[in-house]
Amino acid sequence: MSQEKHIIKKYPNRRLYDTVISGYVTLEDLKEMVMNFEEIQVVDVKTGEDLTRQVLLQILLTEEVGSTPLLSNEMLCQMIQTYGQASHSVFAPFLEQNMKIFADWQRQIRAQKRTLSRANRWFADPFSLPSNNMTYFAEWQKSLQEAASNFWGSINSTLKNRS
């Protein structure tokens, strides 16, 4: 895992050039960098404009179309409905904080994986996780569901009251 930020230059022909490795990369390569917690920044080679967000959204869209979707139609509609609403300023930090909690949990599991001698079997069968990890995950998932339900309930009632 590299500590150096990958500056990716995006050319008009859509090619992506990684200045750290001095070579061209694909969206799949960028996805792998993100999965490995490597920092990336994508810039337009002509204008210098930061295109990181657009490229990350493109990777996300590719994942959503090409595999089992993470975001349901209902969730996508709810997200779209928050744009332009007062709730928009609340939603982004809420979502970001919950994703941070999830990422921290993933890092904890990865750290434990490295220290356990039976790590390969442990991850091949998630139900072989030590009970305290499964309990922690179940509790975390339940609290996340409750927080999301409360959030969307308050947003929906606010929107209905404005109608």
Q: Which residues contact 27 (CB under 8 A, 6 or more apart)?
A: 16, 55, 58, 59, 62
Contact 8, 39 (CB under 8 A): no
Q: What is the predicted pLDDT for the residue at 122?
A: 46
- The H-or-E segment that residue 33 falls in is helix 27-35
What band does 8 get if pLDDT is binned at 50, 70 and 90? very high
Q: Average of pLDDT values for 27-38?
A: 93
C-alpha closest to that of 44 among 78, 22, 14:
14
State CA 4 to chain mean position distance: 20
DSSP for 127-150?
Answer: GGS-HHHHHHHHHHHHHHHHHHHH
**pTM for the structure as a whole:** 0.63
Give me the count of residues in the chain. Answer: 163
Contact 31, 67 (CB under 8 A): no
Structure confidence by residue, pLDDT tens digits, 88-144:
778 888 888 888 888 888 888 877 776 664 545 545 555 555 555 667 777 777 777
